[in-house]
Amino acid sequence: MRELRAWLITAWRLTLYLFYRLGIGKCPNLLGIYPELVAVFDRVMGWRKNLRVSGESHCPRTGPAVFSGNHYAKDDPFVAYRAIHRICDGAYPVRYMMRDDFFAGGGGILKSKLIDVDELVCMLGALQISRDRVQLTQLKPFIALLREQAAFIMYPGRSRSRTGVFVEYRDGIDEPGGVTFLVAQAQRNRPELNVPIVPFARTSNLATKTSVLVFGPPVYLPHDADRAVQRDLDFRIIELMAGLVEINVTHIVAGIVYLRCLHGRTEPLSIDALNKSIESTIERLPNRLIDPAARADCRGQLEAALDHFAKSQLIVLRSNSITPVAGAVLAAPPHDTTYRAINPIKYAVNQILHLPDVIDAVERAAAFDNA
């Protein structure tokens, strides 16, 4: 009944928005139906089934905060928005930072007489900035939010990762965005204001089409921090985010197949031996976050990963073995939005490439004898 009510309220507000776009009536308040919108998006996007949240105890329930995460997919701001909403029982609405060219080139229905998607996302909580030429006037609303005891989500990597690499700097950008600059400005001459910076990371499992959002313990910027201290903390925040990546079976099997191809070992692999190797890899990573499904159903997760890679023609899958297609596995796709679809093995490996202990464990696993 509650969900039906959410759909009816959302449909009515969106109808009012269409009338507004046609010049009939005033612009409706969409943030005012924040809980109902989350319920509708939950159903439409399948987040209840496909999204898991971890580290809920680290998520503030009230007060100012900056949520700093990795940028993996276009729906990232909405996923984080939804996760925080669920953790806080709808009592803690947050805003989110978004590039003003995020929907550039969309055209068609996204930019028409009936809909302006940039206008819509702003009505849904986005505060837009220019990625390359940020103006101080664009940053002031974020500083004001923190001073008003509110929170927002931002992605200091600035660009969405196309290759799976945790933070993918490109277009002349070679360091993280200034989370600490905004916090420092908010705390300036406000000794009573201590803004928590909450790192989080979203990790995808390409084979099962699921993802997990993990929140980590907050960190704080000292009030007397100079620019060097701020910059060091900006990099430290990236490291904290990177440590929240959750390792799944798809990562491990992708790493094993890739490394064996890299070293010229392209003979068929026994699926049973591969499964044992994955289980031993997981046991070598006691200090890493591991997908619960990797322990509960390793074989099922492995079969899902192999099916996924076979569909991309990266392996030949038989009943009891697989044979890597080395040329396809080692090929480097264009660094654009097709990367993940063309070579999901390389994409999955890139997701864990920044974790040396994980790579070491996978390298040891890749050396197993095919018995």
Residue 371 lies in a domain: no
Residue 39 lies in a domain: no
Residue 41 lies in a domain: no
Residue 14 lies in a domain: yes
Which residues fall within 8 angstroms of residue 168, CB to CB, at 6 or more apart? 157, 159, 160, 161, 162
- Higher-pLDDT residue of 197, 112: 197
Please, what is the average pLDDT of the chain? 87
* 27 and 171 assigned to the same domain: no
Residue 232's closest CA among 276, 169, 180? 180
Residue 115 lies in a domain: yes
The residue from 213, 242, 271 where one domain ends is 242
* 310 and 279 assigned to the same domain: yes
- Confirm if 201 and 239 have CB atoms less than 8 A apart: no
Question: Which H or E run includes 67?
Answer: strand 65-69
Could you report the per-residue pLDDT of 281-321, keeping only the tens digit for each?
Answer: 999 999 999 999 999 999 999 999 999 999 999 999 998 99
CA 362 from chain centre, in angstroms, equals 23
Give the C-alpha separation, 118 to 102, whole Å.
Answer: 8
Span 180-186, mean pLDDT? 93
Asked whether residue 330 carries a pLDDT value surpassing 90, the answer given is yes
* Residue 325 CB-density burial (10 A; 0-12 exposed, 13-18 middle, 19+ buried): buried
- Higher-pLDDT residue of 37, 177: 37
Could you report the per-residue pLDDT of 233-268, keeping only the tens digit for each?
Answer: 999 999 999 999 999 999 999 999 999 999 998 899
Which residues fall within 8 angstroms of residue 75, CB to CB, at 6 or more apart? 45
* 84 and 138 assigned to the same domain: yes
Q: What DSSP line would sit under 319-360, residue for residue?
A: SSEEEE-HHHHH----SSTTHHHH-HHHHHHHHHTT-HHHHH
* 212 and 294 assigned to the same domain: no
- With tokens 């660009």, the residue in question is 159
Q: What pLDDT does residue 304 have?
A: 97
Residue 40 lies in a domain: no
* 233 and 159 assigned to the same domain: yes
The residue from 221, 242, 263 where one domain ends is 242
State which amino acid sits at residue 309.
Answer: F
Which residues fall within 8 angstroms of residue 44, CB to CB, at 6 or more apart? none
* 93 and 215 assigned to the same domain: yes
The residue from 223, 242, 261 where one domain ends is 242
Domain count, the chain: 3
Give the C-alpha separation, 291 to 282, whole Å.
Answer: 10
* 51 and 19 assigned to the same domain: no
Residue 38 lies in a domain: no
Give the C-alpha separation, 215 to 234, whole Å.
Answer: 17
Span 7-24, mean pLDDT? 88
Question: Which H or E run includes 21?
Answer: helix 2-21
Give the C-alpha separation, 152 to 81, whole Å.
Answer: 9
Which CATH number is 235's domain given?
A: 3.40.1130.10
* 228 and 192 assigned to the same domain: yes
Asked whether residue 325 carries a pLDDT value surpassing 60, the answer given is yes
- The three-state secondary structure class of 51 is strand
Residue 277 lies in a domain: yes
Q: What pLDDT does residue 102 have?
A: 63
Q: What pLDDT does residue 176 have?
A: 52
Give the C-alpha separation, 152 to 164, whole Å.
Answer: 25
Asked whether residue 99 carries a pLDDT value surpassing 80, the answer given is no
* 186 and 327 assigned to the same domain: no
* 11 and 61 assigned to the same domain: no
Query: For the chain, what is the largest distance between any 2 Cα atoms, rounded to a whole number of angstroms?
Result: 72
Kindly state the percentage of the chain with pLDDT values over 70.
91
3-state SS, 80-101, equals HHHHHHHHCCCCCCCEEEEECC
* 219 and 352 assigned to the same domain: no
What is the span of the domain harbouring residue 343? Answer: 249-366
- Higher-pLDDT residue of 38, 343: 343
* 100 and 211 assigned to the same domain: yes
* pLDDT grade for 109, boundaries at 50, 70 and 90: low
